[in-house]
Amino acid sequence: MKLKKTKITISKVKSFEKSNLPKIQSILNEIKCWYGEKVGDIDFLTQIINDEYKPFYLAKINKRIAGIIILKINEKTIRIEYIAVDRKFRNIGIGRRLLEFVKKYCVDNQYEKIYVQTRHLARCRRFYRKVGFALIRCDNKEGYSEYTWKS
93 binds ligand COA, rule: CB under 6 A: yes
85 binds ligand COA, rule: CB under 6 A: yes
Where is 94: in which H helix or E strand?
helix 94-108
Number of residues located near ligand COA, criterion CB under 6 A: 19
28 binds ligand COA, rule: CB under 6 A: no
61 binds ligand COA, rule: CB under 6 A: no
CB-based contacts of 93: which residues, under 8 Å, 6+ apart? 2, 3
Q: Are 102 and 69 in contact (CB under 8 A)?
A: yes
Residue type, 128: Y
39 binds ligand COA, rule: CB under 6 A: no
55 binds ligand COA, rule: CB under 6 A: no
One of 24, 45, 70, 83 touching ligand COA (CB under 6 A): 83
84 binds ligand COA, rule: CB under 6 A: yes
β-sheet bridge partners, residue 10: 59
126 binds ligand COA, rule: CB under 6 A: yes
CB-based contacts of 150: which residues, under 8 Å, 6+ apart? 113, 114, 115, 133, 134, 136
One of 55, 58, 78, 95 touching ligand COA (CB under 6 A): 95
9 binds ligand COA, rule: CB under 6 A: no
For ligand COA, the binding residues (CB under 6 A) are: 30-31, 83-85, 90-96, 118, 123-124, 126-127, 130-131
